[in-house]
């Protein structure tokens, strides 16, 4: 009995002390690690945020709805969250140094997940980041375009409007369902013009075994609630007046469908030839819409091509691989700009043709996902 009491008393003494120390530490944290309210000045007075200090700059900004990109989640390894900190960033931390070049350090570029907001701080944030938000929407329409391509139209619920440049993409969230244990995000280009800003349209091709595309094709129904973030990406029209060649296949139509309608609305008249590749006739879609645009717009030419066996060239369709068609049509030494959207294989083949025709890297633009 004595032994038991001894053990219990010992345990009580040990726990007692540990509890006292833990309480002391919590109190100390409340008092010491309290940085009060700090002001974040963005883009030299453009915007001011009042925040509670003590967290990393990255976490603080994300808490305020500014989605600074981060791949490693604030661990200080990916360096995606670089921002210029003009003031209040204090000394460069040892964890940031290996991730920055000397020029960047001289320019006050910091790794924002390693900078702690301890006082008023002034940062420069690129405009594009302001527009990335999380959106809640409702599926307004799912339309079959071909046997394996659907057009998805999502009406925005909250926020109600989206601002984007044609050619950008969203990250659509496929929730946990069936055999998919947790949500995943997949990127899809927006196919509606920016003027249609209360909804988002995408063109999705079913990928065998693909988590998100299978969900869209089998489970998703009109009226369902969906979530996505965006807009992302820098695939868009250049500032110049140069002639353009567009090359796409399958769901690569999406950004161009957005861009061409935008150009029509805005009266942007740049000579444009759109090469669209498919295998068989049933794989072509939006043909009527494209033909109509060709009639209405004197600067726009649509060139579909079918690479499948046994396809004949009639009603405006060409035969052969899209890259072969481009090769035939494009003059060597062309001063055109090339915009590519499609699978990596198609892009690589297209690039070869383009280089052979003299279209250089600085005049080639890619939409980087298949």
Partner 1 sequence: MIAQAATNATPSLHLLLVLLSAALTENILLTRFLGMCPFLSVSKEFRSAFGMGLAVLFVVTCTCLLNYALYTGVLVPLSHYGVPAESLKLILFIVVIAAFVQLMEMVIERISIRLYFALGIFLPLITVNCAILGASLFMVTNVTGKGYGAARVLLYGFGTGLGWFIAIMLMAGIRRRLRTAKVPPGLEGPGITLIVTGIMAMAFVIFQGMIKI
Touching partner 1, residues 200-259 (CB under 8 A): none
* Interface pick for partner 1 out of 94, 209, 223, 333 (rule CB under 8 A): 94
Q: How far apart are alpha carbons 153 and 29 in whole angstroms?
A: 49
- Find where tokens 């350090």 sit: 105
C-alpha span between 255 and 162 (Å, rounded): 16
Shortest reach from residue 90's CB to partner 1, in Å? 5
Q: Is 90 in the site for partner 1 (CB under 8 A)?
A: yes
24 forms part of the interface with partner 1 (CB under 8 A): yes
Is residue 77 involved in binding partner 1 (CB under 8 A)? no
Interface mask toward partner 1 for 109-148; x: CB under 8 A:
---------x------------------------------
Least spacing, CB of residue 9 vs partner 1, in Å: 4
The reply on whether position 52 binds partner 1 by CB under 8 A is no
Tokens at 246, concatenated: 């567009």
Q: Which of 302, 163, 169 is nearest to 245 (CA)?
A: 302
Q: Which is nearer to partner 1, 26 or 313 (CB)?
A: 26
Residues 3-22, mask of contacts with partner 1 (x by CB under 8 A): --xx--xx-xxx--xx--xx
Compare residues 114 and 171 and give the one whose CB is closer to partner 1. Answer: 114
Nearest Cα neighbor of 152 from 190, 197, 203, 199 is 203
C-beta of 33 vs 155, nearer to partner 1:
33
CA gap 351, 370 in Å, rounded = 15
Looking at residues 253 to 272 of the shown chain, list those that interact with partner 1 (rule: CB under 8 A).
none
Tell me, rounded to whole angstroms, the distance of Cα 139 from its chain centroid.
20
CA angle, residues 276, 305, 242, in degrees to nearest 5:
45
Count of positions on this chain that bind partner 1 (CB under 8 A) = 22
The number of beta carbons lying within 10 Å of the beta carbon of residue 311 is 17
Report d(CA 370, CA 359) in Å as an integer: 22
> Does 26 participate in binding partner 1 (rule CB under 8 A)?
no
DSSP, residue by residue, 176-224: SBTTB-S-EEEEEEB-S-TT-TTEEEEEEEPPTT-HHHHIIIII--TT-
The nearest distance, CB 121 to partner 1, in angstroms, is 13
- If the CB atoms of residues 13 and 129 are measured against partner 1, the closer one turns out to be 13
**Least gap, CB of 17 to partner 1 (angstroms):** 5
Give whichever of 6 and 52 is closer to partner 1, judged by the CB atom.
6
Q: What contacts 325, CB < 8 A, 6 or more positions away?
A: 275, 277, 303, 305, 318
Distances from the Cα of 165 to the Cαs of 65, 68, 161, 254, in angstroms?
Answer: 20, 19, 13, 13
Nearer to partner 1, 97 or 289 (CB): 97
Of 29-37, 104-112, 150-158, 350-358, which part binds partner 1 (CB under 8 A)?
A: 29-37
Nearer to partner 1, 19 or 163 (CB): 19
Specify the residue, 38 or 149, whose C-beta has the smaller distance to partner 1: 38
Terminal-residue alpha carbon distance, the chain: 74
Least separation in angstroms between residue 30's CB and partner 1 is 10
Cα–Cα separations (whole angstroms), residue 346 to 15, 249, 321, 363: 67, 8, 9, 18
- 319 lies in the site for partner 1, by CB under 8 A: no
Nearer to partner 1, 54 or 210 (CB): 54
Q: Does 102 bind partner 1 (CB under 8 A)?
A: no
| Interface pick for partner 1 out of 37, 91, 312, 332 (rule CB under 8 A) | 91
CA torsion 52-58-63-66 (nearest 10°) is 120
Q: Which residues would be at the binding site for partner 1 (CB under 8 A)?
A: 5-6, 9-10, 12-14, 17-18, 21-22, 24-25, 28-29, 32-33, 90-91, 93-94, 118
């Amino acid at each position: 009995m004595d032994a038991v009491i001894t053990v219990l008393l010992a345990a009580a003494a040990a726990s007692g002390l540990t509890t006292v120390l833990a309480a002391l530490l919590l109190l100390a944290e409340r008092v010491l690690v309290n940085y009060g309210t700090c002001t974040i000045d963005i883009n030299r007075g453009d915007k001011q945020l009042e925040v509670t200090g003590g967290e990393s700059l990255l976490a603080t900004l994300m808490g305020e709805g500014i989605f600074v990109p981060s791949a490693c989640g604030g661990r200080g390894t990916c360096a995606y969250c670089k921002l210029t900190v003009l003031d209040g960033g204090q000394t460069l931390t040892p964890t940031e140094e290996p991730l920055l070049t000397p020029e960047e350090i001289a320019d006050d570029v910091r790794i924002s997940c390693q900078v702690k907001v301890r006082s008023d701080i002034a940062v420069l944030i690129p405009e594009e980041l302001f527009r990335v938000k999380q959106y809640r929407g409702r599926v307004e329409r799912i339309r079959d375009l071909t046997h394996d391509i659907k057009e998805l139209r999502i009406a925005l619920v909250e926020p109600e409007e989206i601002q984007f440049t044609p050619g950008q993409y969203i990250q659509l969230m496929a929730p946990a369902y069936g055999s998919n244990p947790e949500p995943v995000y997949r990127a899809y280009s927006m196919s509606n013009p920016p003027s249609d800003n209360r909804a988002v349209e995408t063109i999705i091709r079913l990928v065998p075994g693909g988590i998100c595309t299978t969900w869209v094709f089998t489970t998703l129904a009109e009226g369902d609630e969906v979530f996505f973030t965006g807009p992302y990406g820098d695939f868009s029209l250049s500032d110049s007046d140069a002639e353009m060649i567009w090359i796409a296949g399958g769901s690569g139509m999406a950004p161009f469908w957005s861009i061409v309608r935008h150009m029509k609305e805005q009266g942007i008249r740049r000579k444009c030839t759109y090469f669209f590749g498919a295998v068989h006739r049933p794989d072509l879609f939006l043909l009527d819409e494209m033909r109509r645009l060709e009639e209405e717009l004197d600067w726009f030419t649509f060139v579909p091509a079918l690479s499948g066996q046994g396809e004949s060239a009639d009603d405006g369709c060409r035969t052969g691989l899209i890259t072969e068609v481009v090769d035939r049509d494009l003059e060597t030494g062309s001063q055109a700009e090339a915009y590519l959207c499609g699978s990596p294989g198609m892009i690589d083949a297209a690039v070869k043709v383009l280089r052979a025709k003299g279209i250089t890297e600085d005049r080639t633009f890619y939409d980087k996902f298949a």
